[in-house]
Amino acid sequence: MPNSDKKIFQKNIKTAPILIAGPCSAETKQQLTDTAEEISRIKRVKIFRAGVWKPRTRPGSFEGAGAKALPWLREIKDKYKFKIAVEVAKPEHVEECLKYPDTVDVVWLGARTTGNPFSVQAIADSLRGTNMAVLIKNPINPDLDLWLGATQRILNAGITDVGAIHRGFYPFSKTFLRNLPKWEIPINYMMQFPEIPMINDPSHIAGDIDYIHDVAQRALNTNFDGLMIETHISPKDALSDAKQQLTPTELDSLIDKLVFRQKTSTSPQFFDLLHKYRDQIDSIDFQIIELLNERMEIIKNIGKYKSEYNVSVFQLKRWRDVLASRIEFCDKFDLSKPFVEKVLSLVHEESIRQQSFIMNEYDDDLDYEE
Ligand code: PEP
Ligand code: MN
């Protein structure tokens, strides 16, 4: 009995973004009820989340109250009229949820689960034929295919009420954010599944309440369809993710402060000028491609020349000079140096690839993974 007529997660609906709030973990009945009661005063929040089962990195950490929290959530749902969302990490969790009819409306697959296709498939099979809405978090590693694959498995099980959650990616070296946003990955996801709403989880990206606003605003600027924000009645006493949970009052002021963007404008003037700007951008993009081509033709000539003199393709000193002089040139403009460095590095990588091909005439597909 798919509930396609009243989907929770829909793209481009005219209503405000989907807001999900609640504690990282379901700890006690009191903690859940007190948190829900306070959040219920925030009109925009329609879905209450709680980690009933918490997959933890190390054994011995608090793993959530478990199935006994489901009747507590049922009471909360009846009293405050929330939709209820919990994480499921294995089919048994889905089965537990189904034992309490009209309690859980939404299940989400956590980042650790999305990374494991066997687990995703087992959960997808257990959801087949139910009317659960399903949210799929990105995997811990920045692998778009795993995220898309997990989504496909859920869709293949006949689930139609589906959303994605962008919670960031594990950083190899410490940054001030707990997880790297890598915004291009959710954007690529949106391109593959344009109908699936994308929800941002600024709590797990930020890892600290100080950065939640900026991450959430960036998501709204990037046309995300909603936010999932960890909220606890007393974050300092939280049994998991204490540093990143807001109080309901802090959540309320965060939501007040955030600028919710329109998907597009209804003003014709907006499009008049926008089209002019976009024409300019189009022309510049084509010029960039022409210049890249011109540059690459010279690169190829240099490749032949180096080949004649049997000189290696990569020249460290030259590359250092190229980078340094271009980066210094950036001082004249309001342009990010790391951005220019990234672009130049890509161009340089392609130049090496082209010259190596000319010198050795080996298969130039070697440098590509696909
Ligand atoms: C959570 O939402 O509490 C959670 C465990 O998130 P993630 O799977 O993104 O780490
Ligand atoms: Mn958490």
Q: Is 24 exposed, middle or buried (0-12, 13-18, 19+ CB in 10 A)?
A: buried
Q: Taking 80 as the threshold, does the pLDDT of residue 366 lie above it?
A: no
pLDDT > 70 fraction of the chain, expressed in percent and rounded: 95
pLDDT, average across residues 237-257: 97
Nearest CA residue ID for atom 10, ligand 1: 111
Distance 309 CA to ligand 2 centre (A): 60
Beta strands 162-166 and 198-200: pairing type? Answer: parallel
Closest ligand 1 atom, residue 167 Cα = 9
Q: Which ligand is nearest to the CA of 107?
A: 1
276: three-class secondary structure by DSSP: helix
Nearest CA residue ID for atom 3, ligand 1: 24
pLDDT, average across residues 148-154: 98
Per-residue pLDDT, 353: 92
Q: What is the mean pLDDT of the chain?
A: 94
Closest ligand 1 atom, residue 165 Cα = 9
How far is residue 246 from each of residues 180, 228, 229, 236, 296, measured CA to CA in Å? Answer: 20, 12, 8, 10, 52
Distance 57 CA to ligand 1 centre (A): 11
Pocket of ligand 1 (CB under 6 A): 24, 51, 110-112, 137, 167, 204
List the Cα angle 93/98/99 in 5-degree steps. Answer: 100
Mutate to test the pocket of ligand 1, among 20, 24, 120 (most ligand atoms within 8 A of CB): 24
Mutate to test the pocket of ligand 1, among 137, 185, 200, 244 (most ligand atoms within 8 A of CB): 137
- Tell which wins on pLDDT, 11 or 63: 63
User: 1 falls in which pLDDT band (50, 70, 90)?
Assistant: very low
pLDDT in tens, 216-243: 999 999 999 999 999 999 999 999 999 9
Distance CA 116, CA 149 (A): 10
How far is residue 40 from each of residues 18, 157, 184, 192, measured CA to CA in Å? Answer: 15, 33, 34, 35
Distance CA 34, CA 21 (A): 13
Q: Taking 80 as the threshold, does the pLDDT of residue 265 lie above it?
A: yes
